[in-house]
Chain A
Amino acid sequence: MTNLELSRVAPESALHESALIAGNGRLDLPVEIDPKPLGALLRPALYALEALAFPLALLGLWTLSSRLGWLPAQILPAPDQVAATLAELAGNGDLWFHTSISLLRVVQGFALGGTLGLLLGIAMGLSPRVRRSVEPLFTALAQVPPLGWIPVLMLLVGIDEGLKLLIIAKAALIPVALNTHKGIRNVPDSLREVGAVLAFDRWATLTRIVLPAAVPSIFTGVRYGLTSAWLALVAVELLASSEGLGYLMVWGRQLFQLDMVIAAMLVVGLVGFALDWTLSRVERRLQRWELAGS
């Protein structure tokens, strides 16, 4: 015997449902609006304190070690010296000069590589023919780390801007293309079928279903690509450049001015962080629908 006759699925609270329908025209979503207790307000401050405790302790140790001369200054310069160098570099405009050059390079290279990667990824995701004919070559090229191409390109295009642009673009292209491709191929069939039933043409399918569904994956690729581009920039500037943050480090290293090296490292970290943070903001905006309701 089946239980088909009255197999009404337990209603997900009839009251709740009809209350929502009868609502006053506003979204009655269960949003918490009760005033936060003091403890909740203080918690972020407490976390910030905890987060700062460790680096402060390290800084203290570092200061102590340089005061007591545990390590020679050529191995580890005093923190105040690093700060002074940083201030000096910032004051005389050198820091901004080198940072802006590095930023410009990474933006150009990333724009080139990211765009090509996006187009390639979309083409591979949409057309099985393109995928079949491009994938082996693409995979083969992707196996070589971005740095592997530096000597080849040095011989082919010299050590000027072209080299940097190509290396950075290549570093960005691979992750963007791979993730775009993956995102498009993983668009759920259930949604594609809805498109078919609603008689979407190819364009509508692409813009209404495929691309929106692939956005999370594409963005993973874009963030990866930017990180990878920044990494490649530093490498190529260390190897062959006469300006930029990487060059600043090489220069400091040659002069045995570790304070300058460390100052430049700090800026490299800061810029890397800022780039990634910016993208994560954009990502959150684009994926509002995912955050809404959760």
Chain B
Amino acid sequence: MADIIHHAAARGALEIRGLTKRYRVSGTPFTALQDIGLSVAPGEFVSIVGASGCGKSTLLRLIVGLERQFDGEILLDGRPVARPGLDRAIVFQEHRLFPWLTAEENVALGLLKSAHPTADKRRLVREHLELVGLGAFAKAYPSQLSGGMSQRVAIARALVARPRILLLDEPFGALDALTRSHLQAELLRIVRAEGITAILVTHDVEEALYLGDRVVVMHPRPGRIASVIPAGRLPLTEDGGPPGPGLGHDRADPAFVRLREAVLAELGAGHAPPPVRHAA
């Protein structure tokens, strides 16, 4: 905690206090998120896992500023979040590319409101398309791309403006193992190099552990944080690892196995119907 307060003046510190979000579903209020508290230090990488419908996407939408009505506080570098801004970027669960624009035009949208000169913008767009392995598809329309390729374009669009906080909502779900680990490594590299704070929602516990400095486990109904598990920087394989599945970490590493079991146990706790707790 002291560590986080120490960094609060730096760029990209996120502080969430007592955050509660209610929707009305056919007249009756429904609590999507209840009393969320979370501090994320600048440059930190936080993974969120949780059952479907427990409010992970909603939490990201709140942080990015798309939902205006909520109780509690969301502070970015000490200032309350009121609306979306270029300091935050999000990769949505669905790619949300503009179907009438080509891949490069879609990425360029990320720079539409930034102050770069045009030539720089063009170079940045090209670099980022290449980064996600789609340099050859600059002129393709989204309808000509596969789901995974579209998602990569969306990642490039989010990264291109170098946000202070990057929010990712299951960005790698539709990718094959090879592309996925390549992108995981690239994402980690960029985020580390630029000191970007990242929050990643995923259903893949291993991914959460490999990428995250901490893993937040959420429970549903109402959506809340069950526990936060520090993952640390996991050791790489002996040879430094050619990026195979999962970033080349050692799956058999006992520390990793222990962590995975811990996260899975936390997740499972939210699922087993505990009659005792229900009464409470």
B80 beta carbon closer than 8 Å to chain A:
no
Chain B residues whose CB sits within 8 angstroms of the CB of A212 once the complex forms: 98, 100
A239 beta carbon closer than 8 Å to chain B:
no
Question: Once bound together, how far apart are the Cα atoms of A253 and B136, in whole Å?
Answer: 65
Q: Mark A265-294, 1 if CB is under 8 A from B, else 0.
A: 000000000000000000000011110111
A18 beta carbon closer than 8 Å to chain B:
yes
Question: Once bound together, how far apart are the Cα atoms of A215 and B85, in whole Å?
Answer: 28
A80 beta carbon closer than 8 Å to chain B:
no
Given contacts A8-B177, A12-B146, A17-B146, contact A1 B268 (CB under 8 A): yes
A-B contact pairs, 26 of them (CB 8 A): A5-B204, A7-B204, A8-B180, A9-B173, A11-B175, A11-B176, A17-B146, A17-B149, A17-B179, A21-B134, A23-B136, A25-B135, A26-B136, A27-B137, A190-B92, A191-B98, A196-B84, A197-B66, A198-B86, A198-B113, A204-B112, A289-B100, A290-B99, A290-B143, A292-B141, A293-B141
Closest to B85 in A: A199
Q: Determine chain B's interface SS by DSSP, over half rule.
A: loop
Chain A residues with CB under 8 Å of chain B are 1-2, 4-9, 11-14, 16-18, 20-21, 23-27, 29, 190-191, 193-194, 196-201, 204, 208-209, 212-213, 215, 287-290, 292-294
Question: Once bound together, how far apart are the Cα atoms of A193 and B66, in whole Å?
Answer: 7
B96 beta carbon closer than 8 Å to chain A:
yes
Q: Is the CB of A6 within 8 A of B204?
A: yes
Closest to A216 in B: B100
Q: Choose among B101, B175, B264 the residue that contacts A289 (Cβ–Cβ < 8 A).
A: B101
Most buried by A among B100, B135, B140, B147: B100
B133 beta carbon closer than 8 Å to chain A:
yes
Chain B residues whose CB sits within 8 angstroms of the CB of A290 once the complex forms: 99-100, 143
Question: Once bound together, how far apart are the Cα atoms of A2 and B260, in whole Å?
Answer: 13
> Smallest Cβ distance from A246 to chain B, in angstroms?
40
B198 beta carbon closer than 8 Å to chain A:
no
> Smallest Cβ distance from B97 to chain A, in angstroms?
9
Q: Mark B142-155, 1 if CB is under 8 A from A, else 0.
A: 11101111000000
The 6 A-B residue pairs with the shortest CB-CB distance in the complex, in nearest-first order: A11-B176, A14-B176, A293-B143, A293-B144, A289-B100, A21-B133
Q: Is the CB of B143 within 8 A of A204?
A: no
Q: Mark B256-280, 1 if CB is under 8 A from A, else 0.
A: 0000100010011001000000000
